[in-house]
Chain A
Amino acid sequence: MRALMPAFDCIQEYEQARSERLWDGMSLWATNRDPGAVYVLGYAAEIAVKCAYFRFSGFTIVQPIGHAELNTAQARAHVLHVTAPREGFHSIRFWGDLLIEHRRAAARPLPAATEASLKVAVDAVYDRWWIEMRYKRAYSSRTDLEQLAAAVDWIDNHYVALYT
């Protein structure tokens, strides 16, 4: 199976993965696997915000996103005074703040209400999901799942607006 996977990441792969993680998360929710649903839905949110950043940055859907591109994103974050740690490039707060600051620097800021709602959604996910959860036992509650799912839903519904 590894041989079938593309050798590099790109927006096209990210977006397909985002869609699959959304359905996977909903399936887990429907079968009362709440902590699993939190973990998988968190990925969907993180991928969406990361992808919105690369789309806004002008990447084509098949343009490789590898070490050099991620390292440049980290450098740009520093230049634009984004202080959120990247957390292995899996921090939704890092990508959300970078998207906001990149748009500002490009003189195309998000509308104030959208930016505020994005920050609320990103914080809701950030507080309940991080990549290292895979090594932890389940701490998520039904309330965590419902609040995270609401944030994921907002990000999903506003995905295109984040990069256009």
Chain B
Amino acid sequence: MPVIRKRLGPRDHPEHDRFVAELVRHIRNEPGLPDFPKIVEEDVRLSNNLRVYVSWDDWGSVPETERSEIILEAYSQARGVPEMLRISVAMGLTPLEARQLGIDIDG
């Protein structure tokens, strides 16, 4: 039986970089994009903050915090660090999770 060395800390999802790149294309609203991921931005009242919800079936195998990291990285690349720092909630949900939480992505 070989010795298995455990890596300290979470490992990035194997498709982490692809997810970031795909989201960047959507945030930039490039032509010819598929319907998903669907991105909803919501201004926080009386604040400069922004809440961002991303609905995407591909999130299924991605841990919750890494979904948020992917969203923040994508905003940082697409719109710059100051815009990324405005985001108070970066939430990635599958369409089913969004429905279960009562978050209206399509509204």
Partners in one complex: yes
Q: Is the CB of A57 within 8 A of B65?
A: no
Cα distance A69–B85 when bound, in Å? 13
User: Which A residue sits closest to B66, measured CB to CB?
Assistant: A75
- The B interface is mostly helix, strand or loop, or mixed, namely helix
Q: Is B84 an interface residue (CB 8 A)?
A: yes
B40 within 8 A of A: no
Select which of B46, B82, B88, B91 is within 8 A of A106 by beta carbon. B82
- Given A59-B47, A105-B81, also A74-B65 (CB < 8 A): yes
Q: Are B89 and A69 in contact (CB under 8 A)?
A: yes
Contact A72 B88 (CB under 8 A): yes
Residues of B contacting A59 in the complex (Cβ-Cβ under 8 angstroms): 47, 49, 88
Does B94 lie at the interface of the complex (its beta carbon under 8 Å from any beta carbon of A)?
no
Of all chain B residues, the one with the shortest Cβ separation from A86 is B65
Give the residue of B76, B88, B91 whose beta carbon is less than 8 angstroms from that of A57.
B88
A71 and B68 alpha carbons, distance in the complex (Å): 8
- The chain A residue sitting closest to B91, CB to CB, is A68
CA gap between A69 and B68 in the complex, in Å:
10
Residues of A contacting B: mostly? helix
Residues of B within 8 A of A (CB): 44-49, 64-66, 68-69, 71-73, 76, 81-82, 84-91
Contact check, B85 vs A75: say whether CB atoms are below 8 A apart.
Answer: no
Is A63 close to B, CB under 8 A?
yes
Q: Give A106 to B80 CA distance when docked, in angstroms.
A: 11
CA distance A75 to B88 in the complex (A): 11
> Do the beta carbons of A68 and B89 come within 8 Å of each other?
yes
Given the complex of chains A and B, what is the CA–CA distance between A72 and B68 in angstroms?
Answer: 6
A79 and B49 in contact, given A68-B89, A69-B88, A106-B82 (Cβ under 8 angstroms): no
> Complex Cα distance A76/B73, Å?
9
Residues of A within 8 A of B85 (CB): 57, 76, 102, 105-106
Residue of A59, A63, A72 contacting most chain B CB atoms (<10 Å): A72
A42 to chain B, nearest CB (A): 26
Chain A min CB distance to B48 (Å) = 5
